[in-house]
A and B are shown apart, each in its own frame.
Chain A
Amino acid sequence: MAIQTPSFELGSPLVQPTAASASRGYWQSVARRLRRDPVTLICAGTLILIVAASLAAPWLGLADPYKTSMIRRLLPLGSPNYLLGTDELGRDMLARLIYGGRLSLFMGVTPVVCALLIGGLLGITAGFLGGRVNMLIMRVMDVFYAFPSVLLAISLSGAMGAGTENTLLSLTLVFIPPVCRVSESVTTQVRGFDFVDAARASGAGTLTIVRVHVLGNVLGPILVYATSLISVAIILAAGLSFLGLGVKPPEPEWGLMLNTLRQAIYVNPVLAALPGVMIFITSICFNLMSDGLRAAMDVKA
């Protein structure tokens, strides 16, 4: 399957010499390269649109996403007043899809952000300190790695019970180990460079060295890796809701909508597939954006 945490190819965190004439910082040249990448720009635009629409949903003049109607159930796409039809309880699909972006995106992004903070901290610590600290942290991560990520998420959520908080918690736990592993490996690599030795030889404290010499070189690759996890997290979060383990009805959420609309596949199949289209679009955009970011940051390319 699938929802695996993507494999990570470590690009060199170091800029290779290029024939730049004007003096330009690393992030400036990354931004310049991104501006010239139409695919990444389109994906970023699409994502901004989805996020903005879901945030601004109450002010878009949409129908009430919770209002049910027994007589207007499963209206097809293009019905008058119901552009995208209605769901199995007669609720407006357009409103629910747009409102659904709120929870679906939140459930996908939040665990990655939390995992980025915790896993990144653990990984950088393990990578920089090495030795026994590294051993301890990475062996604990190995335990989590002994589970396929979907299994871990489902088992944890299943034991804790359905609900938004529990889902966020179990997804965070699932994403800490991969973030930690990547952070550890980039940090170990950076620590091996002579400039870190030179900084140590200058008598600077560990925290100063990490702040000035390590963070700037590892944050980029770690962030790129984290953006590639968001797509996985959104699918996984939707999957949990689809199984009934995540968001509880009647909240609009793409995975949950996909689940409740399954009974409609014989009546109105296109409608039943709609929420998945949203998940698909979002996930594809995050993936392409992550690729673009990686390419822009790998100066060798």
Chain B
Amino acid sequence: MDTMIPVDRGGPAQPLLLATGLRKHFPVGGGILGRGRKVVRAVDDLTLSVAKGETLGVVGESGCGKSTVARLLIRLIKPDRGTMVLDGDPVDEPHGITVNELRRQVQMVFQDSYASLNPRLTIGETLAFAPKAHGLPAAEARERVRDLLSKVGLDPNNYAERYPHELSGGQRQRVNIARALALRPRLVILDEAVSALDKSVEAQVLNMLVDLKSELGLTYVFISHDLNVVQYLSDRVLVMYLGKIVELGPVEAIYGNPQHPYTRALLSARPSMDPRKRTKEAPIQGDPPNPIDPPSGCRFRTRCPFAEDVCARAEPALSDTGHQSVACHMSIAGSGHSKAVRGGAAAA
């Protein structure tokens, strides 16, 4: 399988992963005999690209579809609609690569460090599983396991024969990261990978992720609800709300000059160490609406302080404001919103 080590095919300008119009609706319950079925619109027409070598942060409240995006990108769930292109090769299409080839290059680290390790297998067996499934001989797989363990800072002599319940949460998450690296992927999706850890352990694991990235030339999609961690790690940030992208741009632009009211609300809700910067009132009221029946037009309008008639009528498209892309009628010239930017101002 080492001959399969993926090579950079399209050059640096070619996005590593390009997903276009991804959609996933989950059916829930159903009326008598399944009529009148309702769906949860977990991810709705989502388009994103991940450049080679970057870290794309994905933030949003719980339930906004972040995890669904992660599972769609690695095809653990099949999208209802949409296409994916990995370094120029369409995925799961006649002239493209198969889902299995996608998974060899794209791997994932799960949030729950305990549930993502098989309790009946030793750490060594867990790490050797994927390489063996791809035909690596046992001796080489053992060598790979030792290599992986040392990469994530665990002593191979001490840990390979252990069972998951004998490890701490931080150690388990290191094992999960090692497992994601076992097939030598190019893109690693980290789905709330450090969220369950203690703050001190979290910092260690984050630093290790940064080191691994430069050492192995990895690309990350880093999904988290923790804005500080995302800021620390990401090059670009994608903000999601109810299955939709509301804002997308470089980390400096998103954190320094957020355009979408939702992004602004999220950022001002961050606890600050500086007493002078502490917020006095809650920036967003209430809970996100039910994704089974999301609001018409702009999905954020029910909680948005600037909502107007136009927000209920039309869905704002994701449009470029120069530094970042924003899906808000206030950022679209001539949208009909009273606070909309004047014509041409958007490009300025």
Q: Give yes or no for direct A-B contact (beta carbon below 8 Å).
A: yes
**Interface of A with B (CB < 8 Å)?**
14-18, 20, 23-26, 193-195, 197-205, 208, 212-213, 216-217
Which chain B positions have C-beta within 8 A of A23?
122, 161-163, 166
- Cα distance A212–B134 when bound, in Å? 14
Select which of B74, B112, B161, B165 is within 8 A of A18 by beta carbon.
Answer: B165
For A217, the closest partner residue in chain B by CB is B120
Interface: B116 (CB within 8 A): yes
Which chain A positions have C-beta within 8 A of B58?
none
Interface: B260 (CB within 8 A): no
For A197, the closest partner residue in chain B by CB is B76
Q: Are B76 and A200 interface neighbours, CB within 8 A?
A: yes
Interface: B255 (CB within 8 A): no
Given contacts A23-B161, A201-B74, A202-B103, contact A194 B121 (CB under 8 A): no
Q: Are A199 and B163 interface neighbours, CB within 8 A?
A: no
For B100, the closest partner residue in chain A by CB is A203
Q: Are A26 and B120 interface neighbours, CB within 8 A?
A: yes
**Interface of B with A (CB < 8 Å)?**
71, 74, 76, 100, 103-104, 107-108, 110-112, 114-122, 126, 129-130, 133-134, 161-166, 176, 179, 182-183
29 A-B residue pairs with Cβ-Cβ distance under 8 Å, sorted by A, are A14-B119, A15-B165, A16-B165, A18-B165, A20-B163, A20-B166, A23-B161, A23-B162, A25-B122, A26-B119, A193-B115, A193-B116, A194-B110, A194-B111, A194-B115, A197-B76, A197-B108, A197-B116, A198-B108, A198-B110, A198-B176, A199-B129, A201-B108, A202-B130, A202-B179, A202-B183, A203-B100, A203-B104, A212-B129
- Cα distance A205–B130 when bound, in Å? 10
Q: Are A203 and B76 interface neighbours, CB within 8 A?
A: no
**In the complex, what's the smallest C-beta–C-beta distance from B75 to chain A, in angstroms?**
8
- Cα distance A212–B129 when bound, in Å? 9
- Cα distance A213–B162 when bound, in Å? 17
Q: Are A203 and B163 interface neighbours, CB within 8 A?
A: no
**In the complex, what's the smallest C-beta–C-beta distance from B163 to chain A, in angstroms?**
6
**Given contact pairs A26-B163, A201-B74, a sample of 19 additional A-B residue pairs in the complex whose CB atoms are under 8 Å apart:** A14-B119, A17-B166, A20-B165, A23-B161, A25-B122, A26-B119, A194-B111, A194-B115, A195-B115, A195-B116, A197-B108, A197-B116, A198-B108, A198-B116, A198-B179, A201-B107, A201-B108, A212-B121, A217-B120
